[in-house]
Amino acid sequence: MSTSRVYAVSGGASGIGAATAELLRGLGHTVVTVDLRDADVVADLSTAEGRTTAVEGVRALAPVLHGLVPCAGVAGLTGVDPELLVSVNYFGALALVEGLRPELVRAEGAAVVLLSSNSVSCQPGWPAAVADACLAGDESAARAVAARVEAVQAYPASKAALAYWLRREAIAERWIGAGVRLNAVAPGLIATAMTDALRRDPVLGVFADAYPTALGRPGRAEEIAELIAFLLSDAASLLVGSVVFADGGTDAILNPRRPAPM
């Protein structure tokens, strides 16, 4: 990553997105951030209008894009609208990926890193119907299916859908054939404002630290940022369609022989 490049990061105002933007800038790269506030492009990825604003805003600042990291997301907390969660976590993320594909292709060697989650393999009982509805590409239908469950269940389903989409599309001619690598990271519990909110959740807070880790601590946003930076780099040139677990060993502890079926 010695050559200066241009990257876009959504959710760049906080958490993993902010840590990723800071790291990439520290490496000498240009980073265009997208968020609801405190970003280069201010846009609401839950709406079609906001997604258009985001894509056009990034495009205006980066006609060539060497990498994209859609970090913006909504947590599955008590009282959160599961329809909103699906719209942001899945459809908002992929609107950026699809919308900025021409800029990625123009780089002649770009990478996309999606944010999945170890909740896909470590949280039991999430509704596959939500993931299936997302993958069908009909947002209205997906929102209707998500409305039948709680946000805590919709969250891993939305992250599974991203992983499924990634596996399907990464090997397609329109992506890797055009020089764009698609991969994902699946973080576990990471110490961010989002997990602080989880601990304050009146229903789910007791589960915040229930999952075991081999390290005995939550991850740090900077640790996930380092992994993302690697996946964006030429050093990861052989990785296509990979979902890399970064959870301190939680998935390995709970699923010792193999990751649970995604």
Q: Where are the domains of the chain?
A: 6-250
Please list, in sequence order, all residues whose beta carbon lies within 8 angstroms of the beta carbon of residue 172, skipping any fewer than 6 positions away.
Answer: none
* Nearest-angstrom CA–CA distance, 82 and 207: 19
* Nearest-angstrom CA–CA distance, 247 and 262: 16
Q: Say if residue 109 is exposed, middle or buried (CB neighbours under 10 Å; 0-12, 13-18, 19+).
A: middle
Structure confidence at residue 259 (pLDDT): 61
Q: Coil, strand or helix: which one is 166?
A: helix
DSSP H/E element including 187: strand 180-187
Whether residue 168 contacts residue 140, with contact meaning beta carbons closer than 8 Å, is answered with: no
Q: Say if residue 107 is exposed, middle or buried (CB neighbours under 10 Å; 0-12, 13-18, 19+).
A: middle
Structure confidence at residue 199 (pLDDT): 72
Which CATH code for domain 6-250?
3.40.50.720
Q: Coil, strand or helix: which one is 47?
A: coil
Structure confidence at residue 204 (pLDDT): 65
* Nearest-angstrom CA–CA distance, 259 and 118: 9
Q: How many helices (H) and strands (E) does the chain have?
A: 12, 9
Which pTM was predicted? 0.94
Structure confidence at residue 246 (pLDDT): 97
Structure confidence at residue 1 (pLDDT): 40
Question: Residue 259 carries which DSSP code?
Answer: P
Whether residue 75 contacts residue 155, with contact meaning beta carbons closer than 8 Å, is answered with: yes
Structure confidence at residue 78 (pLDDT): 86
List the chain residues with pLDDT less than 50: 1
Active-site hit among 7, 155, 164, 211: 155
> Whose CA is closest to 86, among 49, 134, 136, 50?
134
Whether residue 119 contacts residue 155, with contact meaning beta carbons closer than 8 Å, is answered with: yes
Q: Coil, strand or helix: which one is 38?
A: coil
| pLDDT tens, residue by residue, 228-260 | 999 999 999 999 999 999 999 999 999 998 765
Structure confidence at residue 203 (pLDDT): 66
Q: Say if residue 231 is exposed, middle or buried (CB neighbours under 10 Å; 0-12, 13-18, 19+).
A: buried
Active site residue 90: no
Phi-psi region of 45 (alpha: psi -120 to 50; beta: other; left: phi over 0): alpha
